[in-house]
Amino acid sequence: MLRKIYDWTLEKAAHKYSERWLAAISFMESSFFPVPPDVMLAPMCLAEPKRSFRYALICTIASVLGAILGYIIGSFLFDTIGMAILDFYGLGEKFEGFSEQFNAQGWIIVMLAGFTPLPFKVITIAAGATGMPIYILIFAAIIARSARFFLVALLLWKFGPPMKEWIERNFALATTLVGVAFIGGFVAIRYLV
């Protein structure tokens, strides 16, 4: 099933309304959709390099708006829709323990999940379910999602097809390392200053 959704998403990159599809998928991915917008972003950046940063901006704005929907699901629909999404990712039973940790370091978790391949929708739903202030979610989502999408756009704009192949092979590793370094910087500043 996920492969069919992935293929369907990739097909939308060549659609005449690809920017609208990119926005829709970015929005949905932050709250319930399983395929990340990078699947569309990469081929669109390669097809029209001059529009790469426009595409990254579309992803960022739509993703942050989708994060707000995820927050609403967590706040008001957690027992129904929220738990179904968490169960889909195998996290329903682990949520109680996770929520305690989430309350202590929520903004760091949002930043890390927003930048790495971790399911961002799980984090946005958790933010609503645990009562994280929405402004923290929005601020962290703007930073993390823009860093992620603009990095992909920059690399594809600058290096083209060879970079696409490298990203596809090493995306999880690359974004996780950069995300850990990024968050590590914030943590270091917090404890050193």
Residue 39 near residue 149 (C-beta atoms within 8 A): no
pTM of the model: 0.78
Q: What is the DSSP string of 85-126?
A: HHHHTT-TTTHHHHHHHHHHHHHHHHHHHHHSSS-HHHHHHH
**pLDDT of residue 186 exceeding 50:** no
**Segment 49-107, tens digit of pLDDT:** 889 999 999 999 999 999 999 999 999 999 999 999 888 877 777 777 777 777 777 77
Q: What is the pLDDT of residue 192?
A: 42
| Total structural domains within the chain | 1
**Segment 98-137, tens digit of pLDDT:** 777 777 777 778 877 777 767 788 889 989 999 999 999 9
Domain range holding 29? 2-192
Between CA 51 and CA 39 the distance in angstroms is: 16
**Rounded alpha-carbon distances, angstroms, from residue 134 to 18, 64, 82, 123, 172:** 30, 11, 17, 12, 27
Per the model's pLDDT, the better-predicted residue between 171 and 37 turns out to be 37
Q: Which of 67-76, 134-143, 179-188 is least confident?
A: 179-188
Per the model's pLDDT, the better-predicted residue between 141 and 159 turns out to be 141
**Segment 16-36, tens digit of pLDDT:** 888 999 999 999 999 888 778
Q: What is the pLDDT of residue 26?
A: 95
Q: What is the pLDDT of residue 180?
A: 65
Q: In sequence order, which ranges of the chain are alpha helices (DSSP H)?
A: 2-12, 18-29, 38-47, 52-76, 83-88, 95-115, 120-129, 134-159, 161-192
**Other CB atoms within 10 A of residue 124 CB:** 32
Between CA 137 and CA 158 the distance in angstroms is: 31
